[in-house]
Structure 1
Amino acid sequence: MRRECQEIIPGLILGPYQCSKDTEYLTSTGITHIICIRGEAEAVFVRPRFPDLFSYLVLDVRDSEEQNLIRIYPQARSYIADALQMGGKVLIVCNGGISRGPAITIMYIMEAAQMSFEDATHYVQNKRYCISPNLGFQCQLKEFEAIYRASLALANQPTAHTQRDSKRRLEDDDEGVEADMDLRPAQNQRI
């Protein structure tokens, strides 16, 4: 299984680079988009092989604990989301399909399914047993959980501008109601 690709969620497939060299496999599974994740030294052999047949996104990512994945992820997220929205299938590959590709896949699953780092990792690992993002990537995935959850919280909060507009509309509505009412207390009524 380590040398094969696995479908993680419908339309999102993860595996080693060698899967992206097999046009029969790619066309038979309906893959339309391929993300090649490679380090600088791997650029000679981990590269788009069939640019006339498939759409490619190449991400230069070292399998190093110091490599910043969080900065690179938004580009991958957009590419995956756009492809899936168009009805395409995305294959994510790195040299061995063990560290870099799985880390990006876990980030996508965390955000798309609103899962914790641990749950998303277990989910992906249940589909592709051999994943093992390096320790630096694991730390970043934990950090990413806090980042995407904060983004969700902000997205679900009304903005200050919206709150001001709503308050202003309520005040305007109250003035209209007040104009129709005699707000003076009745002679013997206590306030």
Structure 2
Amino acid sequence: MGNGMNKVLPGLYVGNYRDSKDPAQLNRYAISHIVAIHDAARKLHPDIHYLCVLASDTPEQNLAQYFPLCNDFIHAARLRGGHVLIHCLAGMSRSVTVTIAYIMSVTSLNWKEALKVVRVGRAIANPNNGFQKQLQDFECFRLMDERKRLRERFPSRALSNLDEEQCQLLLIAYQSLLSGRHICEGNCAMGEVCPTGMCRASRSRSTRRKTSSTSLQNFPSSSSSSCFLCFSFTLSVFKTFFDTRPLRVIVFS
């Protein structure tokens, strides 16, 4: 799905699994760091730093527990001049959710505004209903603390003004694209032609989940999915989270 990875902010890209394997794209956009978020996430390129989160694209998946880890990895990379690709399988739900959480954490945007910013660059962006609820809860109950934590961990303000200004410009662009029917808000009526095909894909995913709901009940909740941290980044950065979460860690130097 999609025609390659898309730039969201300077040094920040969203794409799908195919994009993450494409050497031409990785070289073209100078990707130095990858956040891989899917059921079989693993390090594919030895010369790229990885953060691999094992997570399924289901409303029940607790993706919010990984927001701080992802924020640290992404922000540290960008501050050092790195280019980060965040991808899942389709580049539509899981990767977009993590991208939204990061944008919220480093700017003044709420989750709906951050989603609009992502959609300007990647029109098919559409987190599932469960992830949207997690983003809403993150905004209401944890966002202020996360912004404070990031400011304390990364005192540099090198990206602050740039990201804020870029997001405001993208919000203006979003309204223009929406009025021109180049993008949608994920709620096109049944039978209405969606300009991105996003609504059709979303309904298809929902149908598949309902069909398989009985069998899914036989498995433990995916909220306990392990997170693999695969990158040559100092381990102490994530010590706070290791103290409270049973994460398995692989460090590649």
Pick the TM interval, shorter chain.
0.7 to 0.9
CA-to-aligned-CA distance 1:79-119 (integer Å, 9 cap, x gap): 00110111100000100001000000011111111211111
Matched, 1:28 2:22: no
Structure 1 counterpart of 2:22, one-letter code:
D
Within-5 A mapping of 1:104-115: 104-115=98-109
- Is contact 1:111–1:148 with CA below 8 Å preserved after alignment? no
Matched with 2:12 is 12
Q: Give the AA of the match of 1:95.
A: L
CA RMSD between the two structures: 1.8
Can you give the 5+ residue segments of structure 1 that lack an aligned partner in the other structure? 156-191
CA distance in 2, matches of 1:94, 1:144: 21
Quick check: 2:36–2:87 contact (8 Å CA) kept in 1?
yes
- Which ranges in structure 2 are unaligned for 5 or more consecutive residues? 150-253
Equivalent position SS for 1:34: strand
**1:72 maps to 2:66:** yes
1:47, distance to aligned residue in structure 2 (A): 3.2
Q: Which runs of structure 2 are paired with 1:92-103 in the superposition (5 Å)?
A: 92-103=86-97
Give the drift of 1:27.
Answer: 1.6
Q: CA deviation at 1:152?
A: 6.9
Preserved contact between residue 12 and residue 85 of structure 2 (Cα < 8 Å) = yes
Q: 1:56, CA displacement in angstroms?
A: 0.9
Give the whole-Å Cα distance in 2 for the aligned partners of 1:108 and 1:29: 20
1:148-167 matches, cutoff 5 A: 148-151=142-145
SS of 2:64's equivalent in the other structure is: coil
Over the matched positions of the two proteins, sequence identity in percent amounts to 35
Does the 8 Å CA contact 2:105/2:146 hold for their aligned counterparts?
A: no
User: How far has the Cα of 1:148 moved from its partner?
Assistant: 4.0
**1:57 aligns to 2:48 (yes or no):** no
Residue identity matched to 1:5? M
Tell me how far apart the structure 2 counterparts of residues 154 and 15 of structure 1 sit (CA, whole Å). 29
**TM-score (normalizing by structure 1):** 0.73
Preserved contact between residue 105 and residue 147 of structure 2 (Cα < 8 Å): no
1:153/1:133 CA distance change after superposition, 3 Å: closer
CA distance in 2, matches of 1:138, 1:78: 21
Report the Cα distance in structure 2 between the residues aligned to 1:109 and 1:82, rounded to whole angstroms: 14
Say which SS state the counterpart of residue 95 (structure 2) adopts: helix
In structure 2, do the counterparts of structure 1 residues 131 and 154 end up closer, same or farther at CA, with 3 Å as the change threshold? Answer: closer
1:146: which partner in 2? 140
